[in-house]
A and B are shown apart, each in its own frame.
Chain A
Amino acid sequence: MLTLQSYLTLGAIIFSIGVIGIVINRKNIIIIMMCIELLLIAVNFNFIAFSYFNQDLAGQIFVFFILTVAAAEAAIGLAILVALYRNKKTIDVQELNSLRN
């Protein structure tokens, strides 16, 4: 018997993996952006699970808009990444500390 709780648990696990991935990563910003996509997927899981178990279509509408905004966010983020690499010649998180001093 699949209940709402199983889907919510799956969403919670995916969300935590995304959070850990953002924190422990030191290589490059691309992996961090992929972890943001994982977080969005986890949140969408919760929306769709609630939408199915409450028989309310508003959750799926909301997921539609989240997908739109996430696509825009990925496009702008990658554009920022390209501009950053062009100026700094690196996308390593450790080296991008020019705001520090």
Chain B
Amino acid sequence: MIKELIFYSFSSVLICSSLAVVLFRNPVYSAVSLILSFITSGFLWLLLEAEFLAIVLILVYVGAVMVLFLFVIMMLNINKETEKSSFNSVAPFAVFIGLIIVAELITIIWINSSQFSTSSTVIQQSSQMGNTLLLGTELFTNYILDFEIAGFILLLAIIVAISLTLRPRKNLKTQVASEQINVDPKKRMKLVDLKETK
């Protein structure tokens, strides 16, 4: 009973904060609403016994990604541009289409609900082994190659983000190491014949 209460209250908070992300004019308000929806979905994941992923969601998203978003919003200083009309002309039609999408998805989910195979015994796995232990065991044995590819993707993201935003300064006096190494000593000094002066 308490789980239903938690689920319905938290999911209504989640839906309201997602609507706030879309509807706010100021991007700072949208970012703060997105933080609220991340934390709320983290709590809902705790209800599904995905403790590790819930903590990772809150740490990585709220702690890193949303702080990065807020940094960019503050750095670009776009608050004064938000006075214009915020929605374009296709907005009513888009909302209509979106409502149709919701209706279709919910209809499919609830009509064909017998076709979703669910395990008959939902065991409480947290009582035997922790979710983190199970996930780590699975990740470092069967999915080790995927894990390393994920690390490579993160490395790639670091390199791309730095190379996109790095602005080389002009008139910068730097050493070019390859030219310094490849100097030919014979070309360094030139002997000039001087005529004798009397």
Say whether A associates with B.
yes
How many contacts between A and B, using CB within 8 angstroms?
Answer: 226
User: Whole-angstrom distance between the alpha carbons of A33 and B27 in the complex?
Assistant: 11
B138 x A83 contact (CB < 8 A)? no
0/1 per residue, A4-18, Cβ < 8 Å to B?
A: 111111101111111
B33: nearest chain-A partner, CB-CB: A34
CA distance A64 to B38 in the complex (A): 15
Residue numbers in B under 8 Å from A23 (CB-CB): 90-91, 94, 97-98
Q: Does B189 contact A (CB under 8 A)?
A: no
Mark the stretch among B110-118, B170-178, B180-188, B190-198 that contacts chain A.
B110-118
User: Closest approach, in angstroms, between the C-beta of B104 and any C-beta of chain A?
Assistant: 9
Interface residue ranges of A58-101 to B (CB < 8 Å): 58, 60-61, 63-65, 67-76, 78-83, 85-86, 90-92, 94
**When the two chains form their complex, are residues A76 and B87 in contact, meaning their CB atoms are under 8 A apart?**
no
Decide yes or no whether B165 CB sits under 8 A from chain A.
Answer: yes
- How large, as a class, is the contact surface on chain A? 35 or more
Among A2, A34, A56, A83, the residue within 8 A (CB) of B165 is A83
Question: Once bound together, how far apart are the Cα atoms of A13 and B82, in whole Å?
Answer: 27
* Docked complex: A16-59 residues within 8 A CB-CB of B: 16-21, 23-28, 30-31, 33-35, 37-38, 41, 44-45, 48-49, 51-58
Given contacts A2-B7, A5-B113, 11 further A-B contacts (CB under 8 A): A12-B102, A16-B101, A16-B102, A17-B22, A24-B95, A27-B86, A31-B30, A55-B121, A63-B50, A70-B65, A79-B164
